[in-house]
Chains A and B, each alone.
Chain A
Amino acid sequence: MLNNQEPVISVKNLTQRYGKGRIIYQDLSFDVPKGRILGLLGKNGTGKTTTINILMGYLKPQAGECRIFGESITEMRPETRARIALLIEGHVQYAFMTIEQIERFYSHFYPKWNKDAYYELMHKLHVSPNQHISTMSCGQRSQVALGLILAQNADLLVLDDFSLGLDPGYRRLFVEYLQEYAKAEDKTVFMTSHIIQDLERLIDDCIIMDYGRILTQTSVRDLMRDFARYTFTFDGDNLPDLSENESGIINPSLIKNEVELYTFKSREYVDKVLAENGIKATNLERRDMSLEDAFIGLTGKY
């Protein structure tokens, strides 16, 4: 059983490869505490969906241990699975069912089923209860999937790339509903998305992954406070590689004569590194940044 201090999701030293080849990640460890919304962010192919597949028991990790609600995912009881709502990438649902049939089907499995939450969202879609899910647009299917998640009233929500295929309106609708629901009901959410701007207002914590490693694992508030983007005008021809020798300068880039760099270090430290490299920086400034900027800053543009 899970006590109050134990995390809802606990991942320890997870290692996974593509077959016997490239490492997706090695010794990945993280916890998701109760009531937090954690976003797993990374470029395509960094292992976001792989992590969700492992957590949900659809992929056996090569090493490491995952526990949800204190139970090993390899031996998860049906009762524990009933406490987890899962959104599969692409809002996949039983397409052969109608809006009404799918609600009736799922209602038998979940003791805290809230039919009204589902139909409240369905009424906004202006679709008939007899409409088949197979005839719906991706946006409409996303709302069906969201409605089912809300109705399940689970303690943990696992959402794999909820923004895939959605236009801005549906993305906004999804985020707003989810945000209100998760905060009001003290739900724990573990989610991935490739559209970072959607997550900025939604997530409390983030893990930013690169190929084979975790770049940072922190709260969004701390990331936005501690991680900075600086720009300055550079007069020379060749910019020295400022990111060498663990200098703390991340992804410096030169476009025309404007330099952009990212760092967790202080302004004084940046001044010092620039001086050590003989760089005369004009108009050095810390710029405002969105979560997406921070993501690009950490992972690079390419």
Chain B
Amino acid sequence: MYRALLYKEWLKTRRVFYAAIIISVIMAVYAILNMNSVIETFGVGSLWLNMIQKDVSMVSILTYLPLITGLAMGIAQMTPEMSHKRLKLTLHLPYPTNKLVLLMLATGLLQLLVIFAVQLLIIVIYDAQIIPAHLVSRVVLTTLPWYVAGFCAYMFAAAVCLEGTWFMRIIISLLGCGVLLILFKRDDAMAAYNSMLILFPVLFIIPTILSLGSIYRFKEGLQD
């Protein structure tokens, strides 16, 4: 049964998945070409200096891409469930409700993981050829909060889409915006990591609980 459920989720999200993979690769290649251009103009030494002294990661063009990808994935996956109250069909399936919702969320997160991993891999493989390992890890550390923001945006978008009442949609949206603002407000990577540790329950556990809560409120008849 879980295979059939994965199949359903895939049918809803595959277009966003393919589009996100293509855009992620294009943007990663674009970031690489930018680095190449700096190397050709000023030499690789200048690139190193910039990265060490000015804390430039050279991949800042990717900052908001995971966030947008996460939002698109959440909306593409959950909106079809809520339009015409199609969620009734899903909840009528002979499958435990909690497992059903967790499986849906896991499917979205897994697809995002693949998209983000492909992008990061392209950057890391290229960087490893031109800059030392500690600078590569610095680039990775810089980008990781963006990807976490992508997962987080997905979780909150899913919770908002699954919610049946406008009041709770607004509350969840505000909570999501607050969490994302905290993630992006940090100027340095270490501060972002500290935030992530503190915010970890908010980033994943709370949106999961909110999604499950939305489903239970739907079953209680709390729908606008």
Contacts A94-B8, A105-B8, A108-B1; A81 near B86 (Cβ below 8 A): no
A21, CB-defined interface residue at 8 Å: no
The stretch of A57-65, A167-175, A194-202 in contact with B is A57-65
Interface set, chain B 94-117, CB cutoff 8 A to A = 94-96
- Binding site secondary structure of chain B: helix
The 8 Å CB contact of A92, one of B11, B86, B95, is B86
Contact A109 B93 (CB under 8 A): yes
Please judge, given known A-B contacts A92-B89, A95-B80, A96-B80, whether A57 and B94 are in contact too, CB under 8 Å.
no
A281 within 8 A of B: no
Say how far A214's CB is from chain B's closest CB, in angstroms. 21
Consensus secondary structure, chain A interface: loop
Is A60's CB under 8 angstroms from B4's CB?
no
**Distance (Å) between the CB of B129 and the closest chain A CB?**
42
A145: nearest residue on chain B (CB-CB)?
B89
Question: Does A242 touch B at the CB level, under 8 Å?
Answer: no
Q: Which residues of A contact B134 (CB under 8 A)?
A: none
- Report B-chain residues with C-beta under 8 Å of the C-beta of A58: 88, 91, 218-219, 221
Measured between beta carbons, the chain A residues less than 8 angstroms from B1 are: 108-109
Asked if A114 lies at the interface with its beta carbon under 8 angstroms from chain B, I say no
**Across the interface, do A93 and B89 meet the contact criterion of CB distance under 8 Å?**
yes
How far is A53 from B91 in the complex, measured between Cα atoms in Å? 12
Task: State the Cβ distance, B13 to closest chain A Cβ, in Å.
Answer: 10
Does the CB pair B86–A94 fall under 8 Å?
A: yes
Check B85–A92 contact: CB distance below 8 A. yes
Contacting pair B94 A109 (CB below 8 A)? yes
B84 and A81 within 8 A (CB): no
The interface bits of chain B over 4-15 (1 if a CB of A lies within 8 angstroms of the residue's CB, else 0) are 100110011000
Among A82, A88, A101, A107, point to the contact of B89 (Cβ < 8 A). A88
Interface residues of B in 40-96 (CB under 8 A from A): 80, 84-86, 88-89, 91-96
Q: Is the CB of A60 within 8 A of B12?
A: no
B220 at the interface (CB under 8 A from A): yes
Closest to B90 in A: A94
- Is the pair B4, A105 in contact by a Cβ cutoff of 8 Å? yes
Quick one: closest A residue to B80, CB to CB?
A: A96
Q: For A56, what are the chain B residues with a Cβ–Cβ distance below 8 Å?
A: 88, 92
Does residue B185 face the partner (Cβ distance < 8 Å to A)? no
Chain B contributes a number of interface residues (CB within 8 A of A) equal to 23
Residues of A in contact, count (CB < 8 Å):
28
Interface string of B200-224 (1 = CB under 8 A from A): 0000000000000000001111000
The 8 Å CB contact of B11, one of A88, A96, A108, is A96
A58 to B223, CA, bound (A): 10
Does residue A97 face the partner (Cβ distance < 8 Å to B)? yes
**Chain B, 172-215, contact with A by CB distance < 8 Å: what is the 0/1 string?**
00000000000000000000000000000000000000000000
Compute how far the CA of A276 lies from the CA of B3 in the bound complex, rounded to whole angstroms. Answer: 73
Q: How far is the CA of A64 from the CA of B95 in the complex (A)?
A: 26
Report if A278 contacts B (CB, 8 A).
Answer: no
Task: Name the residue of chain B whose CB is nearest to the CB of A60.
Answer: B220
Residue A212 CB within 8 A of the other chain: no
Is A86 at the interface (CB under 8 A from chain B)? yes
The residue of chain B having its C-beta at the shortest distance from the C-beta of A85 within the complex is B92
Of B4, B89, B95, which one neighbours A78 at CB under 8 angstroms?
B95
Residues of chain B within 8 A (CB-CB) of A82 are 94
Contact B88 A86 (CB under 8 A): yes
Q: In this complex, what residue of B is CB-closest to A158?
A: B92
Once the chains are docked, how many angstroms separate the CA of A90 from the CA of B86?
Answer: 11
Some 5 contacts from A to B, beta carbons below 8 A apart, are: A57-B219, A81-B94, A92-B89, A95-B86, A108-B4
A56-B88, A92-B84 are known; give 12 further A-B pairs, CB within 8 A: A57-B91, A58-B91, A58-B221, A82-B94, A90-B84, A104-B4, A105-B7, A105-B8, A106-B4, A109-B93, A109-B94, A109-B95
